[in-house]
């Protein structure tokens, strides 16, 4: 048995020792006696403090010590430590939209997971599976959310702290397709916090990066549309798909036109970007305002934009925000639609000024014309990034992890209950002792009845 | 436990032997009454001649000294001092405070011995003697001269256990109605103001009143160890007798005794202090009964 917070136990031992010491110091009233001339004694409090050779009120003392020690032990969180084994694993199971091969995912996780290991399931968020990991293993299904390996690694570190008392070494196992979108700028830094190598188990088949294939960008707009000015400049940046920008309310991209233009080069992506009408999924803002910038992926444009539309939370269900205003509000969203996707953009394009010809604006428009997430989520990360993720060297030692402080102690509630019961018992025992002492010290009233006619005054 | 007459007599026999020859004269002339040992205010026809007085109309002709009339041809009345008895009542305080110290009951024993001894002395002086035990159940023995009255007194004292907190002044008032001499044996803890008032009234009425103040040595010089003491008659009076309060207690108790002695003396009441262990009952009785010996005894 170990204590997660042993200082509480040490403190309770000190308090218990002080209580025992106090029970050797008696504060009592002097011996009781009779004196007919007691009325001539001035009133005063008489208590003497003296050291006793044996503790007073042994029952009360025992109950008090029991109360303190039980409470201290409960706060110290005693846990029963299982026998330590050579190696324990922290298995990260990727259930994001990138991991579409469910069978491979389940088989890989089952192959590495053993009883006593830690299982972390992650997509955009990660969670440590505490209860019934077997059921979880049987029900692993990919979600529609983007994977985040950084979040999974943080939870893995926490799980490592929980496993440090069960094994000498900890092995990190990551079962994932290792899509490019699952890594971000912080992934390397977070990975470096795990002090040892990791075993990477790739699942699924890698998809060719369509970004290397030239696509087409078309616009359904009038000639005076300012965005039409941007098109020629942004077109060379479009890769892999046919992108159709819909600027008018009446004009729509027909499947025929999309198919005619895009059948050879990929699925057509319709970007609903009305010049003045309400974009798809958006609603009218209660009050128009001006915001100073917008970002799509890592492309930003600083300019005054008059916002008229907003995306309510319901509109984001099943979709993904691909552009945000500088204050965090969604400016553009994407939703899957069949094998393709549809995008809605609520960024107003003003003909005034040079916005439409600015390079940052051109890059932002090109970013809005990127392939659908369903395609990009399958693009595997660069081998160098995957190698960094694997790391090198030995397995992580248990000493490299901080002891977990949030571990539940199954004994703590019982110890608290014991402390409370002892405290209540002490209360009753103490009251009983007081009553006995008062009875022994008092003068029996019955032998000396006193008529009202004889009243002594001191 | 029942105490029989013989037990009581055995208990007090040595004391009664010791006070056998003591006489208890009155502090002054007594009122007229049955012939007795004390000088009466009246002048009568006893055999103890005192003086002659010229005959006045209305005098009893039988008191004319006819031989002197024959010699001097003048009529003189033969006068003599009259002697009368002095009915004595002894009031013994049997309140709980008299049962102190708890172990020895010293105050009660000394008070009882003084009471019995004074009763014996009074009866041996030819005076009727009565007794009042002022306890929870007051017991009164009317003044009588016969020998058995002493037995009754001894038995009454023997069966009494000091208890309760009965007021003493009412008992004194009742006892004084049947006596010309009144002795109150008490520790005076309680209704001393009422007692002083009653005693003063009877002194003014011509009675001879004597207060024997019984004090235990432990009351004058209490133990030095700290102790929480309780008044046996008033349980609510509970004080801590410590080294800090002891000096104040001794001073307060001493002042009270001085005041009591002074007040009783001012009221014409004889006052004697009887400290347990300092004097024997015989010695105290001799001091009390000495001619003109009763006075203010300055408390120690």
Kindly report, residue by residue over B192-214, the tens digit of the pLDDT: 889 999 999 988 888 889 999 99
Longest dimension (CA), chain B: 87
Amino acid A269: pLDDT: 74
Q: Is B230–A37 a contact, with Cβ atoms under 8 angstroms apart?
A: no
Q: Higher confidence at residue A114 or residue A48?
A: A114
The alpha carbon of residue B116 is apart from the nearest alpha carbon of chain A, in Å, by 24
Q: Is B298 a domain residue?
A: no
* A interface test, pick of B235, B247, B251, B275 with most A CB neighbours within 10 Å: B235
Asked if A448 lies within 8 A of B235 by C-beta distance, the reply is: yes
DSSP output for chain B:
-PPPHHHHHHHHHHHHHHTTT-----SS-B---SEEEEEEEEEEEEEEEEEEEE--TTS-GGGB-HHHHHHHS--EEEEEEEEE---EEEEEE-SGGGS-STTT-HHHHHHHHHHHHHHHHHHHTT--EEEEEESSS-EEEEEE-STHHHHHHHHHHHH----S---SHHHHHHHHTT-SEEEEEE---SSHHHHHHHHHHHHHTT-EEEEEEEE-HHHHS--SS-EEEE-SS-TT-EEEE-HHHHHHHHHHHHHHHHHHHHHHHHTT-EEEEEEBTTB-HHHHHHHHHSTT--------
Domain match, B151 and B127 both: yes
Name the residue in chain A with its Cα closest to that of B97: A36
What pLDDT sits at residue B29? 62
- Residue A425 main-chain phi, psi, to 5 deg: -65, -40
Distance CA B95, CA B191 (A): 11
**Best B233, B246, B257, B275 residue to mutate vs chain A (most A CBs within 10 Å):** B233
- Tell me the domains of chain A and their CATH numbers: 2-80+410-441 (no CATH), 85-207+380-400 (3.40.50.410), 235-376 (no CATH)
Read off the pLDDT of each residue in B170-180 and give the average, rounded to a whole number: 86
Overall number of domains in chain B = 2
Highest mean pLDDT among A258-267, A269-278, A409-418: A409-418
A451/B231 Cβ within 8 A: no
Return all residues near B186 (Cβ < 8 A) that are at least 6 apart. B91, B92, B93, B95, B98, B111, B134, B168, B195, B211, B212, B213, B214
State whether B58 and B185 are in the same domain: no
A170 contact partners, CB below 8 Å, separation of at least 6: A87, A88, A89, A90, A160, A163, A164, A196, A395, A396, A397, A398, A401
What per-residue confidence (pLDDT) applies to A457? 34
Question: What is chain B's mean pLDDT, rounded?
Answer: 84
Pairwise CA distance, residues B18 & B16, whole Å? 5
The verdict on B244 and B275 lying in the same domain is: yes
pLDDT score, position A237: 65
CB A405 within 8 A of CB A274: no
Strands B88-93 and B129-134: parallel
Nearest to B256 among A30, A40, A442 (CB): A40
The per-residue pLDDT for range B16-73, each reduced to its tens digit, is: 998 888 888 777 666 656 666 566 655 565 666 777 889 999 888 888 889 899 999 9
**Burial of residue A62 (number of CB atoms within 10 Å: 0-12, 13-18, 19+):** middle
Q: What percent of chain A has pLDDT over 70?
A: 83
- Chain B hits for A35, CB-CB cut-off 8 Å, are 100, 218-219, 222, 229-231, 241
| Chain A residues with at least one Cβ partner in B under 8 Å | 29-46, 48, 441-443, 445, 447-451, 453-456, 458
Of B85 and A121, the structure prediction assigns the larger pLDDT to: A121
- Spatial separation of the C-alpha atoms in residues A434 and B36, rounded to whole Å: 66
Instruction: Indicate whether B200 and B272 sit together in one domain.
Output: yes
pLDDT-derived band of residue A443, with 50, 70 and 90 as boundaries? very low
> Does B296 fall in a domain?
no
Residue B172 and residue B70 share a domain: no
Co-location of B164 and B62 in the same domain: no
Taking the C-alpha atoms of residue B118 and residue B122, their distance in angstroms, rounded to an integer, is 6
CB contact under 8 A, B232 and A443: yes
pLDDT band at A343 (very low <50, low <70, confident <90, very high): confident
Q: Are residues B226 and B78 in the same domain?
A: no
Asked whether residue B104 is assigned to any structural domain, the reply reads: yes
Domain identity same for B211 and B121: yes
- Cα A443 to Cα A67: distance, rounded to the nearest angstrom: 36
Name the pLDDT band for A135 (thresholds 50, 70, 90).
confident
Q: Are B253 and B221 members of one domain?
A: yes
The answer to whether residues B225 and B95 belong to one domain is yes
Pick from A346, A286, A288: which is nearest to A322 by CA? A346
Considering the domain boundaries, does residue B297 fall inside one?
no
| Residue of chain B minimizing CA distance to A450 | B165
Chain A residues with CB under 8 Å of B241 CB are 30, 35, 38, 41, 46
Is the pLDDT reported for residue A421 higher than 50? yes
- Could you tell me if residue B30 is inside a domain? no
B59 and B178 fall within a common domain: no
> Which residues in chain A are contacts of B96 at CB distance < 8 A?
36, 447-448
- Cβ separation A33–B239 shorter than 8 A: no
Q: Which of B193, B190, B220 is nearest to B299 (CA)?
A: B220
> Do the strands A78-79 and A85-94 form a parallel or antiparallel pair, or are they unpaired?
unpaired
Is residue B269 domain-resident? yes
Q: How far apart are CA A73 and CA A10, in angstroms?
A: 9
| CA–CA distance, A210 with A206 (Å, rounded to integer) | 12
Burial grade of A397 (CB within 10 A; 0-12, 13-18, 19 or more):
middle
For residue A250, name the pLDDT band (cuts at 50, 70, 90): very low
Provide the CB-side half-sphere exposure for B262 (13 A, CA): 6
Lookup: tokens for A380: 């595997």
Q: What are phi and psi of A245, to 5 degrees?
A: -90, 120
B251/chain A closest Cα distance in angstroms: 9
Query: Which of A216-220, A437-441, B151-155 is most confident?
Result: B151-155
| Nearest residue of chain A to residue B102 (CA atoms) | A34
In angstroms, the CA B149 to CA B88 distance is 12
Q: Which pLDDT belongs to residue A256?
A: 32
Can you give the pLDDT at residue A400?
84
For residue B266, pLDDT beyond 80: yes
Q: What is the pLDDT of residues A385-407, one digit of tens each?
A: 889 888 888 888 888 887 766 66
| Whole-prediction pTM | 0.46
User: For residues B68 and A108, what is the distance between their CA atoms, to the nearest angstrom?
Assistant: 164
Predicted pLDDT of residue B154: 92
Dist. CA B299–CA B188, nearest whole Å = 14
Distance CA A175, CA A103 (A): 12
CA separation (Å) from A118 to A79, A202, A317? 18, 19, 31
Q: Mind listing the pLDDT tens digit for each residue in A299-322?
A: 899 999 999 999 998 888 878 888
Give the pair of three-digit tokens for residue A177: 């397709």
CA distance A131 to B165: 80
A5 pLDDT higher than 70:
yes
Q: Do B253 and A451 touch (CB under 8 A)?
A: no
pLDDT band at A297 (very low <50, low <70, confident <90, very high): confident
From the CA atom positions of chain A, what is the Rg in Å? 38
Host domain of residue B216: 5-25+88-289
| CATH (domain of B267) | 3.40.50.410
Q: Do B53 and B148 fall into the same domain?
A: no
Q: Is residue B295 part of a domain?
A: no
Cα A377 from Cα A109, distance rounded (Å)? 21
SS3 A134: helix
The reply to whether B299 falls in a domain is no
Band of the pLDDT at A379, cuts 50, 70, 90? confident
């Amino acid at each position: 048995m170990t204590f997660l917070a042993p200082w509480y136990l040490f403190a309770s031992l000190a308090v218990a020792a002080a209580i025992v010491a106090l029970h050797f110091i008696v504060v009592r009233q002097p011996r009781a006696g009779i004196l007919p001339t007691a009325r001539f004694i001035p009133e005063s409090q008489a208590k003497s403090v003296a050291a006793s050779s044996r503790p007073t009120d042994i029952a009360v003392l025992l109950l008090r010590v029991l109360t303190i020690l039980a409470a201290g032990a409960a706060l110290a969180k005693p846990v029963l430590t299982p026998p330590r084994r050579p190696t324990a694993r922290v298995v990260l199971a990727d259930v994001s939209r990138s991991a579409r091969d469910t069978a491979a995912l389940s088989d890989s996780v089952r192959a590495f997971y053993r009883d006593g290991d830690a299982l972390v399931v992650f997509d955009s968020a990660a969670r440590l599976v505490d209860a019934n990991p077997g059921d979880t293993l049987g029900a692993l299904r990919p979600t529609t959310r983007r994977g985040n390996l950084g979040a999974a690694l943080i939870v893995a570190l926490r799980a490592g702290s929980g496993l440090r008392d069960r094994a000498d070494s900890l092995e990190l196992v990551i079962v994932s397709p290792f899509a490019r979108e699952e890594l971000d700028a912080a992934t390397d830094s977070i990975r470096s916090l795990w002090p040892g190598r990791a075993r990477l188990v790739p699942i699924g088949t890698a998809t060719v990066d369509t970004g290397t294939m030239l696509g087409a960008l078309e616009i359904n707009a009038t000639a005076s549309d300012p965005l039409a000015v941007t098109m020629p400049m942004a077109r060379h940046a479009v890769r892999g798909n046919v992108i159709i920008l819909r600027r008018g309310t009446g004009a729509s991209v027909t499947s025929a036109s999309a198919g005619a233009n895009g059948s050879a080069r990929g699925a057509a992506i319709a970007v609903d970007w009305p010049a003045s009408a309400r974009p798809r999924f958006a609603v009218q803002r209660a009050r128009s305002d001006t915001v100073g910038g917008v970002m799509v992926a890592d492309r930003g444009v600083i300019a005054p934009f008059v916002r008229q539309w907003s995306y309510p939370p319901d509109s984001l269900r099943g979709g993904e925000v691909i552009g945000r205003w500088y204050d965090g509000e969604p400016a553009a969203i994407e939703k899957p639609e069949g094998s393709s996707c549809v995008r809605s953009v609520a960024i107003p394009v003003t003909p005034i000024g040079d916005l439409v010809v600015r390079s940052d604006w051109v890059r932002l428009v090109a970013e809005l014309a990127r392939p659908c997430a369903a395609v990009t989520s399958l693009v595997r990360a660069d081998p160098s990034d995957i190698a960094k993720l694997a790391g090198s060297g030995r397995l992580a030692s248990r000493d490299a992890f901080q002891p977990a402080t949030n571990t539940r102690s199954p004994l703590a509630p019982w110890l608290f209950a014991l402390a409370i019961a002892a405290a209540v018992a002490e209360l009753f025992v103490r009251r009983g002792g007081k009553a006995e002492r008062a009875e022994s010290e008092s003068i029996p009233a019955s032998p000396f009845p006193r008529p009202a006619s004889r009243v002594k005054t001191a | 436990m029942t105490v029989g007459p013989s037990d009581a007599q055995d208990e007090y026999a040595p004391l009664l032997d010791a006070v056998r020859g003591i006489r208890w004269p009155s502090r002054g002339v007594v009122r007229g009454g049955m012939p007795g040992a004390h000088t009466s205010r009246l002048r009568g026809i006893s055999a103890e001649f005192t003086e002659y007085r010229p005959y006045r109309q209305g005098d009893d002709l039988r008191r004319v000294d006819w031989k002197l009339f024959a010699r001097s041809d003048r009529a003189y009345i033969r006068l003599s001092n009259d002697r009368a008895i002095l009915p004595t009542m002894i009031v013994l305080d049997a309140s709980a405070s008299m049962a102190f110290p708890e172990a020895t009951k010293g105050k009660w024993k000394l008070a009882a011995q003084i009471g019995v001894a004074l009763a014996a002395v009074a009866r041996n002086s030819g005076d009727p003697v009565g007794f009042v035990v002022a306890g929870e159940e007051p017991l009164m023995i009317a003044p009588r001269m016969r020998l058995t009255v002493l037995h009754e007194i001894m038995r009454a004292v023997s069966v009494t256990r000091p208890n309760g907190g009965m007021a003493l002044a009412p008992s004194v008032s009742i006892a004084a109605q049947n006596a010309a001499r009144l002795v109150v044996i008490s520790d005076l803890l309680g209704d001393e103001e009422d007692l002083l008032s009653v005693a003063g009234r009877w002194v003014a009425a011509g009675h001879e009143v004597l207060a024997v103040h019984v004090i235990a040595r432990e009351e004058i010089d209490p133990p030095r160890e700290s102790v929480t003491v309780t008044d046996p008659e008033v349980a609510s009076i509970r004080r801590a007798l410590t080294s800090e309060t002891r000096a104040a207690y001794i001073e307060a108790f001493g002042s009270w005794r001085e005041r009591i002695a002074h007040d009783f003396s001012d009221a014409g009441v004889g006052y004697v202090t009887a400290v347990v262990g300092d004097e024997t009952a015989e010695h105290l009785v001799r001091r009390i009964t000495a001619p003109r010996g009763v006075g203010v005894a300055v408390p120690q």
